[in-house]
Amino acid sequence: MDDIDRSLLSLLEEDCSTPLHELAVMLACSEEEIAKRRQQLEKDGIIRRYSAVINWEQVDKGAVYAIIELKVAPERDHGYDRIAARISRFTNVRNLWLRTGTHDLQLLVKGKSMQEIARFVSEQVAPMEQIRETATHIIMKTYKENGVHYVEREDGQRLPFSF
Amino acid sequence: MLNVKTDNACHSRSEQKKRDFISDRAKVIPPSGIRRFFDLAGQMEDVISLGVGEPDYSTPWHICDAAITSIEQGHTAYTSNTGLESLRQELARFLRERYQVEYEPKSEMIITTGVSEGLDIAIRAVVNPGDEVLVVDPSYVSYAPCVTMAGGTPVSVPCAEKDRFRLSADVLMQHITPQSKAMVLNFPNNPTGGVMRREDLEAIADIAIDHDLLILSDEVYAELTYEGHHVATAAIEGLWDRTITLSGFSKAFAMTGWRLGYICAPSEITAAILKIHQYVMLSSPTMSQYAALEALKNGEEAMREMVREYHLRRNLFVDGLNRIGLPCHIPEGAFYAFPSVKGTGLSDYEFAERLITEAGVAVVPGSAFGASGTGHVRCSYAVSRKELSEAIRRMDEFIRSLP
How do the domains of chain B map onto residue ranges? 31-53+301-401, 61-297
Per-residue pLDDT tens over the stretch A50-109: 999 888 888 888 899 999 999 999 999 999 999 999 999 999 999 999 999 999 999 999
Distances (CA, A) of B9 to A90, B1, B18: 89, 13, 17
Query: Is B61-297 the same fold as B31-53+301-401?
Result: no
List the CATH code of the domain at B31-53+301-401. Answer: 3.90.1150.10
Per-residue pLDDT tens over the stretch B157-192: 999 999 999 999 999 999 999 999 999 999 999 999
Distances (CA, A) of A59 to A54, A55, A62, A66: 9, 7, 9, 17
Q: Write out the residues of chain B at the interface with chain A, using a CB-CB cutoff of 8 A.
A: 34, 37-38, 41-42, 47, 49, 51-54, 56, 58, 140-142, 190, 308, 312-313, 315-316, 319, 362, 364, 368-369, 385, 389
- Written as one letter, the residue type at B54 is E
Q: Say whether B140 and A163 touch across the interface (CB within 8 A).
A: yes
Q: Residue A158: which of B47, B54, B313 has the nearest Cβ? A: B54
Q: Say whether B52 and A7 touch across the interface (CB within 8 A).
A: no
Per-residue pLDDT tens over the stretch B309-323: 999 999 999 999 999
List the CATH code of the domain at B61-297. Answer: 3.40.640.10
Q: How many CB atoms lie within 10 A of CB B53?
A: 23
Residue extents of the structural domains in chain A: 3-43, 58-140
What residue in A sits closest to B311 (Cα-Cα)?
Answer: A26
Planar angle of CA B93, B55, B263, nearest 5 degrees: 35
Partners of B362 on chain A (C-beta within 8 Å) are 160-161
**Is residue B29's pLDDT more than 80?**
yes
**Residues B367 and B373 sit within 8 Å (Cβ to Cβ):** yes
Q: Say whether A7 and B47 touch across the interface (CB within 8 A).
A: no
Partners of B387 on chain A (C-beta within 8 Å) are none
Mean pLDDT of B389-398: 98
List the CATH code of the domain at A3-43. Answer: 1.10.10
Partners of B368 on chain A (C-beta within 8 Å) are 163
**Residues B92 and B116 sit within 8 Å (Cβ to Cβ):** no
CATH 3.30.70.920 fits A58-140, yes or no: yes
| Check: complex ipTM more than 0.90 | no
Q: Say whether B362 and A27 touch across the interface (CB within 8 A).
A: no
Query: Is A58-140 the same fold as A3-43?
Result: no
End-to-end CA distance of chain A: 40
Q: Say whether B142 and A7 touch across the interface (CB within 8 A).
A: no
Compute the nearest-CA separation of B239 from chain A (Å): 28
The residues near A97 (Cβ < 8 Å, ≥ 6 apart) are: A105, A106
**Is residue B238's pLDDT more than 80?**
yes
What residue in B sits closest to A21 (Cα-Cα)?
Answer: B316
Partners of A22 on chain B (C-beta within 8 Å) are 316, 385, 389
By the 10 Å C-beta count (0-12 exposed, 13-18 middle, 19+ buried), B203 is classed as middle
> For position B162, what pLDDT does the model report?
94
This prediction's pTM: 0.89
Interface contacts (A, B; CB < 8 Å):
54
**Residues B134 and B107 sit within 8 Å (Cβ to Cβ):** no
Planar angle of CA B242, B225, B120, nearest 5 degrees: 40
Q: Say whether A161 and B190 touch across the interface (CB within 8 A).
A: no
Q: Say whether A160 and B308 touch across the interface (CB within 8 A).
A: no
Q: Give me the DSSP letters along A54-116.
A: --GGGT-TT-EEEEEEEEE-PBTTTBTHHHHHHHHTSTTEEEEEE-SSS-SEEEEEEESSHHH
Distances (CA, A) of A77 to A74, A80, A82, B17, B36: 9, 9, 10, 101, 76
Per-residue pLDDT tens over the stretch B105-161: 999 999 999 999 999 999 999 999 999 999 999 999 999 999 999 999 999 999 999
Grouping H, G, I as helix, E, B as strand and the rest as coil, residue B218 is: strand
What residue in B sits closest to A27 (Cα-Cα)?
Answer: B312
**Of B10, B386, B57, which is closest to residue B224 (Cα–Cα)?**
B57
**Residues B62 and B294 sit within 8 Å (Cβ to Cβ):** yes
The number of helix segments (H) and strand segments (E) in chain B equals 14, 12
Q: Give me the DSSP letters along B88-104.
A: HHHHHHHHHHHH-----
Q: At A45, give phi and psi (nearest 5°).
A: 75, 15
Q: Write out the residues of chain A at the interface with chain B, using a CB-CB cutoff of 8 A.
A: 7, 11, 22, 25-28, 155-156, 158-163
**Is residue A156's pLDDT more than 90?**
no
